């Protein structure tokens, strides 16, 4: 098994040993059965009793940690998980696709993906005009990979700003 660093326990939560995992990677949290905590230069396994999304990270309950005192010993420790459970950053797959809006038709070529936290943006060029649109699954109607087309439903009134 190969490990990948996923973050650290930033603080305790509650009285039963819960910890807040701060991470900047995307995880398959439903698949995480154990985490590995760096202690004394090696990675000790801890089985996960519960893990769920929480403000700025994940709330984690480890099987063998049942008090605030035990949890405090793990604060600020580096946390690792099985590399297979960490989504690797890939190059944005829709670069150089043509974006089509359901109402307005062809909009232009997707030239850049701007990964702003909580609000990723597509930069589309239509001639010499730059169009910035939110990138969300809610707005994607279809993907035609062979044709290199992204079919999009823009929020009402947004494209009128640009066109």
pTM: 0.54
The reported pLDDT for the residue numbered 134 is 93
Q: Is the pLDDT of residue 132 over 60?
A: yes
Distance (Å, whole) CA 128 – CA 108: 10
- Domains along the sequence of the chain with CATH: 3-87 (2.40.30.60), 98-162 (2.30.30.240)
Tell me which long-range contacts 119-124 makes (C-beta under 8 A, separation of at least 24): 122/94, 124/99
Residue listed under structure tokens 């004394």: 40
Pairing of strands 57-62, 18-22: antiparallel
In tens, the pLDDT along 85-106 reads 887 655 567 889 999 999 999 9
The reported pLDDT for the residue numbered 94 is 85
Reduced to 3 DSSP states, what percent helix, strand and coil does the chain have, rounded to the nearest 5? 10, 50, 35
């Amino acid at each position: 098994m190969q490990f990948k660093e996923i973050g650290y326990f930033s603080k305790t939560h509650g009285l039963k040993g819960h910890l807040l995992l701060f991470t900047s990677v995307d995880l398959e949290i439903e698949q995480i059965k154990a985490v590995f905590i760096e202690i004394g230069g090696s990675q000790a396994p801890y089985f996960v009793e519960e893990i769920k999304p929480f403000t700025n990270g994940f709330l984690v309950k480890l099987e063998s940690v049942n008090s605030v005192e035990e949890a405090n010993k793990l604060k600020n420790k580096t946390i690792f998980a099985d590399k297979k459970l960490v989504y690797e950053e890939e190059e944005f797959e829709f670069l150089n696709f043509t974006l089509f809006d359901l109402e307005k038709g062809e909009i232009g070529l997707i030239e850049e993906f701007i990964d702003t936290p909580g609000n990723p943006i597509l930069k589309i060029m239509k001639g010499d005009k730059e169009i910035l649109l939110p990138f969300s699954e809610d707005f994607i109607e279809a993907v035609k990979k062979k044709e290199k087309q992204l079919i999009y439903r823009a929020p009402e009134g947004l494209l009128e700003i640009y066109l």
